[in-house]
Amino acid sequence: MHFKELSFPTNYIWGAAISAAQAEGAVHIDGKLNSIWDDFSKRKWNLNRKIAHHGISHKPLNSAEFYHNFKADIQILKQLNFKAFRFSTAWSRILPNGIGPINQKGIDFYNQLIDELLENNIVPWLTIYHWDLPVALQKKGGWVNRDILNWFEEFTQVLLHHFGDRVLNWMVLNEPLAFTAAGHFLGVHAPGKIGITNFLKATHHALLVQANTGRQIKNINANFKVGTTFSATYITPYSQKPKDIEATKRADALYNRLFLEPYLGMGLPISELPFLNKIEKYTKSEDNYAFDADFIGIQNYTREVAKHNTWMPYIKAGIVPAEKRNVPITAMKWEILPESIYHILKKINQYPNLPPIYLTEVGAAFKDTVSENGDVNDQERIQFFEKYFQQVLRAHQENYTTEGVFVWSLLDNFEWAEGYHPRFGLVHVDFKTQQRIIKQSGKWFKDFLKS
């Protein structure tokens, strides 16, 4: 397939994305204090147990140094013909202690970034929280402390006051299932907490934050466009045995429904996940998970295969690794199945009164290499995007439409517990020299978006 065959609506929004913790670097520069990821990745025991590829370099201390290179990176963004840019604000760069005194140099950085985007006719889409809670708030309990509702409200108020005159599009949380489950139940992501109580508290508070913050923003200015983003995984059963089919339903309730359905006013998927009943002990009469959003963000990367597993607590379902299923995989060991986005869009469109959908992360990691002539010929990534977008158009033909795409990611960056080796970027970053090389996939987008 050639990109000329990919005919999207003329008003379709095409953007690229980064997050603060993964790309900014400059962790201890200009008043910024540590986030939970800075703390989590520097722990000695994490170097062997939690952050892949061992070694002190695999932490977000320097990363892609977007903080110092943002003007040049925006010029690359413009050169590739993207018209929108999704970025997040580092909480501890703006409020080093999470609450209290504002760090003016942090405000100055994001003001400069927003102004630079607008001067280059690129629309800013701001993600308030992309997993980097200030350590100072984590010491007070973080997401398991109900005070997070007040802390988040204060942080949001600061953002609205300083950036609301130029930023129209707001995303509240990035993939809440990831930072609640991986960070508070399994302990493999920051802050490294384990156990069902931590998970339920963090989930309850994240559900409240994504709705409360939406209302807070709209109360300030009804013209703001507000939503949040959800991970969405196409899940199929390992076999047609009743146990595997039921396990798949439970996995789907956890992976895809836990945060989306309450946001849409449908409540928690308790029938498939009875343990969620325990959240009642943390609720108050005024708690409301629902919000009438202007849009939702969907982030789909792969397909998972579920199988009954008696030993898996609470959901009795396990995921069969793609490596063991003899399927093509990415550098993240995720199955390459672009049609998964078609199935996800078809599934989500079954909900009534659904707001517009944006694909707020789309991409794939491969083992990119720089050739002797200084090129990165990432044909696997180009093929992925071609096939993925073909499936998005297939969904459009059946009226399962989306309004835009944000490619993950503009730059190679710090890929959380996987360290620096998985590369998602359209732009190759040498993390020692900070040299940028536009990959062939970036050049593909330049031509595609020009057509």
Q: What residues does 318 pair with on adjacent strands?
A: 307
Of the candidates 157, 152, 207, 214, the residue with the CA atom closest to the CA atom of residue 180: 207
CB distance 15 to 83 below 8 Å: yes
**CA–CA separation, 51 and 58 (whole Å):** 7
What is the length of the chain?
Answer: 451
Tokens of 119: 């001067």
* 409 upstream amide cis, omega within 30 of 0: yes
* 191 upstream amide cis, omega within 30 of 0: yes
Tokens of 282: 């943390």
**CA–CA separation, 152 and 150 (whole Å):** 5
**CA–CA separation, 38 and 259 (whole Å):** 26
**Exposed (0-12), middle (13-18) or buried (19+): which is 374, by Cβ within 10 Å?**
exposed
Tokens of 166: 């130029």
Active-site residues: which are they?
175, 361
Residue 65 DSSP SS3: coil
Of the candidates 288, 287, 260, 270, the residue with the CA atom closest to the CA atom of residue 355: 260
Residue 399, Ramachandran bin (φ over 0: left; ψ between -120 and 50: alpha; else beta): left
